[in-house]
Structure 1
Amino acid sequence: MTTNMMGRVAIVTGAASGIGRATAMALIADGARVMLADLDIAGLDPILADARARGGDAEAIRIDATLEADQAALVAATLDRFGRLDCAVNNVGGGDTGVGICDETLEGWDRTVRLSLTATWLGMKYQIPAMVAKGGGSIVNTASMAGVRYSPAAAPSYSAAKAGVLHLTRYAAHAHAEEGIRVNSLSPGLTATTIVERMFTLDQQAAIAAGGQLIARAVQPREIADAIVFLCSDRSAMITGTNLEVCGGAR
């Protein structure tokens, strides 16, 4: 998919694997200059090597997205390296599976909410002023279909945190529209990432997809990435405060 991302500067958190990796590579392929951020700094090396081999422009930084100082440092490093910030993809998240309301621990709840909701807020706290300074920008927050509807595979903390991302996105979109900031979220369905592959066999993935969506297969990370690139680009100039469900058609 070709967009008008040439020369734009983007941040992608959680860029070392899965949806984050696919998104970073798609943005670079479409001409964006990308700051890759992840706790797994070594996991960013193959993306950097691929970008440079293709003539792309990318840099990497190690951050813990749940730490305010690291989120501030990420934006500062982006401005220092590229001089501006046009779009940001807040893609960090995760949580336990196979636990319910009565057996999830407070420690697990707090960890998941920090990773799947607080990290998104901290990212926007520093991204928005940087975008306002250059006249506007676009933010895409990775949510989840588990935040849209009940999923027995998701812990209550993860479902609640991702539902929080949906409303936080709408809040930010309303609060900063007059400053030229667009904010949208994207809710993937079952996606064929390495994390999902560790959780479910191929047969289990097929059964989950067949039971929960109209297109009976797992979503590929690149299919999520293409939608994110669209939301980052001017082709979605009149879309803000919206949650895009990329899930094969939820039943």
Structure 2
Amino acid sequence: MAKSFENRVAVVTGGGSGIGRASALAFAMEGANVVAADIDVEGGEETVQMIKNAGGEAIFVRTDVTKAVEVEAMVNKTIEVYGRLDCAHNNAGIDGTGLPADELSEADWDRVVSINLKGTWLCIKYEAPQMLKLGKGAIVNTSSIFGLIGGFPNNAEYVASKHGILGLTKGAALDYAAKGIRVNAICPGAIRTPILERQMPNPDALKMVTSLHPIGRVGNPEEVAETAVWLCSDAASFVTGACLSVDGGWAIT
């Protein structure tokens, strides 16, 4: 049976762990040649090995998404190795500092916004021209439930960056809608990733966060990954500029 991404090429940033790793694996399972990008060399290379062990094709490219030269090099490497770029999951991101807005340093603000928002824009900046050459493509950006709501106190820089991703997604969707490129965003709730483990180190904290999800549990990385793959697939051919919640119902409470 033909796979839906056979002969296509997918870039996944933040591919060394969590949602990014699950996304890279999901694209590979559907036949895509995958470029896993991450600043974490060990994690990224492990993701690639997992794909290869499952019979897929992938390469790792170390990439700091805050640096234009590195993002451009990542996309250039994709073209050098695979000759094209069909879809991208711009997923690289970090959490906030846990400080109130007045206690943030300028460096704190710049670091979170640069990785989460600027990094997503830089990826689009260099991915889109390659997709324009094909006359089609699909981009998915990872925002957050905190791109839709205020979330928790002491998280302003993270909330701002994730709201910004939604604005960027809508603006870019308009830029490319008539040119064959669809741009969408995913807003995950609490997902079992290394970030969640770091934020919720004890059972009581995790229980509290779980209670915010009407579905009664936190999510798994694979559930977000499958959504990213669907948004990049032909099945979502009439979907662009959307912000799709994958949050167990948190946003509707």
Structure 1 and Structure 2 fold alike (TM over 0.5): yes
**What is the Cα deviation at residue 3 of structure 1?**
6.4
The whole-number CA distance in structure 2 between the counterparts of 1:7 and 1:221 is 25
Confirm or deny: 8 A CA contact 1:3 1:235 kept in the other structure: no
Cα distance, 1:118–1:194 mapped onto 2, change above 3 Å? same
- Within the alignment, does 1:150 sit opposite 2:150 as a pair? yes
SS at 2:100 equivalent? coil
Q: Which amino acid aligns with 1:214?
A: P
Look up the match of 2:49: 49
SS at 2:80 equivalent? helix
The CA deviation string for residues 150-197 of structure 1, in whole angstroms up to 9 with x for no partner, is 111661011001100001000000111111000000000011101211
Percent of pairs with identical residues: 40
Look up the match of 2:71: 71
SS at 1:206 equivalent? helix
Look up the match of 1:186: 186
- Within the alignment, does 1:209 sit opposite 2:207 as a pair? no
Look up the match of 1:84: 84
The CA deviation string for residues 34-86 of structure 1, in whole angstroms up to 9 with x for no partner, is 01101111212222222222221101111111000001001100001000000
The whole-number CA distance in structure 1 between the counterparts of 2:45 and 2:15 is 11
Q: Which amino acid aligns with 1:113?
A: V
The whole-number CA distance in structure 2 between the counterparts of 1:103 and 1:45 is 37
The whole-number CA distance in structure 2 between the counterparts of 1:202 and 1:25 is 29
Look up the match of 1:39: 39
- Within the alignment, does 1:62 sit opposite 2:62 as a pair? yes
Q: Which amino acid aligns with 2:206?
A: Q
Confirm or deny: 8 A CA contact 1:37 1:74 kept in the other structure: yes
The whole-number CA distance in structure 2 between the counterparts of 1:196 and 1:14 is 15
SS at 1:228 equivalent? helix
The whole-number CA distance in structure 1 between the counterparts of 2:240 and 2:3 is 18
Q: Which amino acid aligns with 1:189?
A: G
Confirm or deny: 8 A CA contact 2:183 2:240 kept in the other structure: yes
Confirm or deny: 8 A CA contact 2:144 2:162 kept in the other structure: yes
SS at 1:58 equivalent? strand
Look up the match of 2:107: 107
Q: Which amino acid aligns with 1:76?
A: N
- Unmatched 5+ residue regions in structure 2? none
Confirm or deny: 8 A CA contact 2:101 2:154 kept in the other structure: no
- Within the alignment, does 1:138 sit opposite 2:138 as a pair? yes
**What is the Cα deviation at residue 198 of structure 1?**
1.7
Look up the match of 1:170: 170
- Unmatched 5+ residue regions in structure 1? none
SS at 1:102 equivalent? helix
SS at 1:133 equivalent? helix
Q: Indicate the larger mover: 173-182 or 154-163.
A: 154-163
- Give the structure-2-normalised TM-score: 0.95
The whole-number CA distance in structure 1 between the counterparts of 2:107 and 2:73 is 27
SS at 2:31 equivalent? coil
- Within the alignment, does 1:195 sit opposite 2:195 as a pair? yes
SS at 1:185 equivalent? strand
Look up the match of 1:29: 29
Q: Which amino acid aligns with 2:209?
A: I
Cα distance, 1:90–1:232 mapped onto 2, change above 3 Å? same
Q: Aligned-residue CA RMSD in angstroms?
A: 1.4
**What is the Cα deviation at residue 202 of structure 1?**
3.3
SS at 2:103 equivalent? coil
